[in-house]
Chains A and B, each alone.
Chain A
């Protein structure tokens, strides 16, 4: 079922958590709301669920306005950041809760509830822990119980608030792969909130980048990574080297760099900045056809698939670059050496 958020605004006192946001989540997709803390992503998720009422705007499920529908009847599955499992109930009772509280007419029989709950626990691979209490489970297991509990009421959309936030790195990776496979199996329209760009790019079909209550960019992981729409998206998603300067008359003058910039042909000078990803910087010993700058190698960390180089330019500004192991061996650079840095690709954003 598709979700549409139309011009939603939410204020807490004088703080605007969500500022005139519109998003569409197509049916069956897994969408990430990505942003730093305080960017309004959790507020937006809670508004979609019906846990908060928007001050303006509306939420539609499959074209149907949800404003008058209480969270109880919206049929959303919600996984809370700290799971919010019922601590005095067993895993089985936690998952069964949504079925047991239904009005008598709509409530499945005891045997049906049992079968359904055990099926769900099998789905999340926890059927062997049905009689345990939440306190006896690990973080990853609790997360999966919370997911099974949310799925028990056969929700039409699944909403997850920082689903991997309080897990350690290894379990986090495992669990997000698992969530992706689960989503591919059940194809439930899902939205999850995260502040971790790697997680968003890895798991989601589509990423919505938020900042200060507004949407900076929406697109596939590749789009937001390769073609960031704003400087915020550029710096928030992945590392980048920044060259500040101006644009004027079809050229950009960014510190030591001067490149063509046909998008701004005015004679009037405007402040601008150029951004390059660490792997988009070519590092050589000789002045490689111009268009670059000299910088001193401060540190090289050869651990991992790529070698990370930390350089500083003539004004002492730090630059992060990445080269392959082969390139690094060919380069044979030592700390303290001067190297020529040339961006292969530069994204230029004009201010204002």
Chain B
């Protein structure tokens, strides 16, 4: 097969070199550096840093936060995208704008908002104080801040998918006698499952990696209110580079797993849509 004429070889090589060079300097090199630093004092020291009690507490808190934030935002995202894509109602534009709010606001500001709301001098401070509920500098604050920062992911992913699917299959199901939940679980959800998974993966990655908002509300109490990113910062500030990078390598691994999962999901959903395309042309 003859190649179509393209740019001269030199130009192509130069462009490729620029792209690869950029990737190497800004992405691969830091990633390698993280693992190199983490393993600097050998594998035993690496494991010790991860098994240290404070590190364990940070890992558990991060997992707990994600375990609450991701399902909550999954439910919210499904409800919001369903409502926005399938129905017309007053205030739809406003709702769409509000979903984007966490993307628009700096995470630090998001954290501050929660301090202003729930802090001791905050709006709800006296009420919470009287009932002995601690939100700021405690686990509930961290969860709240994370939920806030991550809530656009699932909804943003699903709205275009649902809009592209249209309403016809749901209508067909309704005529055939299916109820609301039956339509949702048997028709809508299977049609958007790859979009849901994609949104959940992104949402989870952000929930575990969030630093700014959580940093403001956490109070940095070792073993109690430190998530993985905060724990890394503390270790780093104590010049304990090896331990800092060891814990950071967990987040780097999470990033790699996320990227892998993301490309698998993208590949699968492309396969799914490709199966539909040829026949659509024949129709």
Q: Which residues of A come within 8 Å of B, CB atoms? A: 49, 51, 71-73, 76-78, 80, 82, 84-88, 97-98, 101-102, 133-139, 142, 149-150, 152-153, 166-167
- Please state if A73 and B177 are interface contacts (CB–CB under 8 Å): yes
Of A78, A87, A102, which is within 8 A of B175 by CB?
A78
Chain B residues with CB below 8 A from A153, complex form: 176-177
Enumerate chain B interface residues (CB-CB to A < 8 A).
168-169, 171-179, 182, 186-187, 190-191, 275-280, 282-283
Shortest distance in angstroms between A79's beta carbon and chain B's nearest beta carbon? Answer: 9
CB–CB A101/B168 < 8 A: no
CA distance A135 to B277 in the complex (A): 7
Q: In the complex the two chains form, is B172's CB within 8 Å of A84's CB? A: yes
B278 x A135 contact (CB < 8 A): yes
Quick one: given A137-B279, A142-B283, are A97 and B178 in contact (CB under 8 Å)? yes
User: Which one of A97, A137, A166 contacts B176 once the chains associate, using CB atoms below 8 Å?
Assistant: A97
* Minimal beta-carbon separation of A282 from chain B (angstroms): 45
In the complex, chain A residues whose CB is within 8 Å of the CB of B169: 84-87
Q: How far is the CA of A276 from the CA of B4 in the complex (A)?
A: 60
Q: How far is the CB of A183 from chain B (nearest CB, A)?
A: 19
Q: In the complex, A85→B275 CA distance in Å?
A: 14
For the complex, give the distance between the alpha carbons of A78 and B173 in Å: 10
Minimal Cβ-Cβ distance residue in A for B165: A87
- Report chain A residues within 8 Å CB of B191: 87-88
Which of chain B's residues have a CB closer than 8 A to the CB of A142?
283
Give the total number of A-B pairs whose CB atoms are below 8 A apart.
76
Pull 17 A–B residue pairs with CB atoms less than 8 Å apart, ordered by A.
Answer: A51-B171, A80-B172, A82-B168, A86-B172, A86-B173, A87-B191, A88-B190, A97-B176, A97-B178, A98-B177, A101-B186, A133-B275, A135-B276, A135-B279, A137-B279, A152-B176, A166-B283
Report whether A98 and B176 are in contact in the complex, using a CB–CB cutoff of 8 Å.
yes
**Do A97 and B175 contact each other (CB < 8 Å), given the known contacts A86-B187, A87-B191?**
no
Q: Is the CB of B175 within 8 A of A101?
A: no
CB-defined contacts of A134 to chain B, threshold 8 Å = 279
Instruction: Report A-chain residues with C-beta under 8 Å of the C-beta of B283.
Output: 138-139, 142, 166-167
**Complex: A152 Cα to B177 Cα, angstroms:** 11
From B175, B176, B276, B282, A139 is in contact (CB under 8 Å) with B282
Q: B residues within 8 A CB of A149?
A: 172, 176
